[in-house]
Amino acid sequence: MVHQDYIEKTIKSLHNEGIIEFIDIIKEYPSLLEETEKAEMHKEASMCANYELRITRLIDILRRTRKTPKGIKSILQPEIPEKKFIKEHSFNELYPRIERTLNEIEKNILNYEEHIKILEEETEKIIHDNQQISFLIDFNLDLSYLNESRNIIIKVGITSDLQTLKEEIKPLDLVELYSKQFGSGKKKGWTIALVSHISEKEKIEKICREKISLFDIKSLSGSPKEVLATLTDKKDKIKKEKKETILKLQTYAENHFHELLALREEVQLEQARKELPKNFTKTNTTYVIKGWVLEKDETKLKSVISTASDDHFVFSSEAPSTNPDNPPIYLDTPRWAKTFRTLLELFATPKYNEIDPAIFMGIFLILFFGIMLGDAGYGLMILFLSIIGFFALSKHSQMIKDWSFLGIWLGLVTTIVGFLTNGFFGDLIPRFIYGNPNQLLYSFTIGGIHLPIDSLRNPLVILIIALLFGLIHLNLGIILAMYQSLKNKKYKLLIKAHFSWILLQIGGGMLIGDLLLHIWTLGIIEFYISVIFIICGLILRFLDAGPLGFFQITGFVGDWLSYARLLALGLATTGMALAFNIVGELFSNIVPIQIIGAILMIVLLIILHTINLGLQALGAGVHSLRLQYVEFFNRFYEGGGRKFSPFMVKRKYTQVEIE
């Protein structure tokens, strides 16, 4: 509660600090209206809204005329906002500056905009008239005759059925028909001119409505050729006049565009402060305010309010509960993991007291992408482009910097996996450099493991590795779920829903390794332990989900087998690259001149491998995300939270001068 004499100063201080998210008391706590009344926004809020609309209109006009980068250049070299230095002031001090600025430029900008619209309308009319008059170019008549006179009516237009038109006109005595064909085939038509005595007016107009698309040519005189020349000259003059007007607007944009952006930002900040009280309630002397603040900022919040209100306030706080408080979510993610946060929010924001999986998700996303793409040549291309983006283009855009940083890791892991699995643009080096497609890139043995592992010739090894990564990934999700349940003191959920999977995997794995795969031989004690684990796991599954718990076991196996896509997409990348290399080799052999064949082969391979990189990278990215969203998150993550959004000053075009 803050004394009413200090409410504006308090709002401004809290706005500058940006540490509290205000709650709409009327919406969230309507019971408070029994002791207080609804507060209204400041009377100057509507004035700010009006200024914001006027300035935005001027900005939109100038933005349309400014010369800015287009297309891919606008992405690679986006315009950096120009910041204006300002001093802290009240709205009463800002008001005269707004009026002075608008009085100087608003009238001129709006007049130029209106003049451009008039010129554009005139241009459209000239274009329309030109299209119609062009059909009359072979007619020897003055266009001023087309108006109805005392004795004569002249109608001009086009028709697609000249014969029917002639038959309908034939019975009329005081009518003459002139025609000229244009077009051919299905687009064939006739330009016609009907000259009739005024006595036949009703009949002629009926025929024209049914059979002729009439031209609307008014206030024009002279032959069609003369009028076309006149209209062309007029159009050129209008075009020149429009260009001059646009240049004047561009001059205004150069001189005032950034000034208007800064001015609008100041108005928007003031408007936000003026509208904020509508979220409060009040008594005769105080305003009642509720909101969310981070626990670490509680002391700072009290200090800010104390200073702004000269200690005329009452403060209390309490820790929230997920129900019914439903607090917002604040996630303190490292800057290097910012891209992971974006990918997580594509799925859902974590709920309150739910684990933030962004880091885990990002690590496995990079790993799975590298395995799925699995070609060192493609990995080096991604790595090279990402390094360029990070160091050369990131100064223009934070988004480019963040995604380039992710691309560096994707390219690096893909390159490593490619060298481990004998993939460098498929079999490019063995085929075109070694002269033997079956030869390995290199060959040595470490710890009894022979490298590289050729994924096309030894897919079973890659499948086993993929399934092992799948088990690690799934069990990490189960461990996180157990930790989350333990943290929230949901012990029954921890045992029944999560620990049961650990028992089933250990017991089932021991028996499968002995009875089916013959990897090891269990003793009597180990055999009974594995059986007990399975029985206990099944009982816990039944207690957790009833009979459906048994079907969840097959679902878990299905999720595990989903990780076989790591092998499938890796083989697809290698297979497509190999096929393109074969096509390139055959193409070079077809061309009789060896040098030309070699050049064409290189060009063809560049195009085909670029296409393959794009398609396979897209597939690897999508399927890597799917493994996170479906298989991994299904173990522990629900989402559905809302981000903590404090009331804070966000400046893009202005910067406060430090005195």
Q: Would you list the DSSP string of 307-352?
A: HHHTT-B--------TTTT---B-----GGGHHHHHHHHHH-PPPT
CA torsion sign for 47, 51, 52, 53 is positive
Cα–Cα distance, 410 to 10 (Å, whole number): 48
- State the chain's mean pLDDT as an integer: 90
Order of all β-strands in the sheet with 2-3: 2-3, 286-288, 281-282, 37-38
Nearest in space to 659 (alpha carbons), one of 85, 83, 82, 97: 85
Domain ranges of the chain: 1-39+280-321, 41-131+227-275, 148-217, 335-636
β-pairing, 152-159 vs 20-22, is unpaired
* Beta carbons of 528 and 516 less than 8 angstroms apart: no
Topology of the domain covering 148-217: Alpha-Beta Plaits (3.30.70)
Cα–Cα distance, 383 to 419 (Å, whole number): 14
Whether the predicted pLDDT of 387 surpasses 90: yes
Nearest in space to 291 (alpha carbons), one of 307, 278, 279, 306: 279
**By mean pLDDT, which of 435-444, 494-503, 646-655 is the weakest?**
435-444
Cα–Cα distance, 468 to 372 (Å, whole number): 15
Q: What would the pLDDT profile of 13-26 be if each residue is shown by its tens digit?
A: 999 999 999 999 88
Look up residue 303 and give its two tokens: 């200090």
Residue given tokens 């890659």 in the structure block: 462
Considering only residues 28 and 375, tell me which one the structure prediction assigns the higher pLDDT: 375
Name the 3-class secondary structure at 450. Answer: strand
Percent of the chain with pLDDT over 90: 56
SS3 for 412-437, per residue?
HHHHHHHHHCCCECCEHHHHHHHCCC
Cα–Cα distance, 4 to 26 (Å, whole number): 19
Look up residue 323 and give its two tokens: 């129900």
Q: What is the dihedral of CA 552, 555, 556, 560, to 10 degrees?
A: 180
The mean pLDDT of 366-377, rounded to a whole number, is: 95
Whether the predicted pLDDT of 75 surpasses 70: no
Cα–Cα distance, 286 to 7 (Å, whole number): 8
Q: What would the pLDDT profile of 591-635 be if each residue is shown by its tens digit?
A: 777 788 888 889 999 999 999 999 999 999 999 999 999 999 999
The mean pLDDT of 490-496, rounded to a whole number, is: 92
**By mean pLDDT, which of 252-256, 333-337, 346-350, 632-636 is the weakest?**
333-337
Cα–Cα distance, 105 to 590 (Å, whole number): 70
Name the 3-class secondary structure at 150. Answer: coil
pLDDT at 76 (0 to 100): 63
Cβ neighbour number for residue 588 with a 10 Å cutoff: 19
Q: What would the pLDDT profile of 186-232 be if each residue is shown by its tens digit?
A: 888 999 888 888 888 888 888 888 888 888 887 788 888 989 999 99
> How would residue 243 be classed by pLDDT, with cut points 50, 70 and 90?
very high
Residues 6+ apart with CB under 8 A from 656: 85, 86, 87, 88
The mean pLDDT of 373-394, rounded to a whole number, is: 92
Cα–Cα distance, 551 to 559 (Å, whole number): 13
The long-range contacts involving 530-535, CB below 8 angstroms and separated by at least 24 positions, are 530/506, 531/507, 532/507, 533/503, 533/504, 533/506, 533/507, 534/503, 534/504, 534/507, 534/508
Name the 3-class secondary structure at 657. Answer: coil
Whether the predicted pLDDT of 142 surpasses 90: no
Terminal C-alpha separation, the chain: 32
- Amino acid (1-letter code) at residue 340: F
Spacing of C-alpha 128 from chain mean position: 40
Whether the predicted pLDDT of 500 surpasses 80: yes
Q: What is the pTM of this model?
A: 0.79
Q: Within 13 Å and on the Cβ side, how many CA atoms surround 518?
A: 0
* Beta carbons of 344 and 358 less than 8 angstroms apart: yes
Spacing of C-alpha 50 from chain mean position: 30
**By mean pLDDT, which of 149-153, 305-309, 410-414, 534-538 is the weakest?**
149-153
Look up residue 641 and give its two tokens: 């939270």
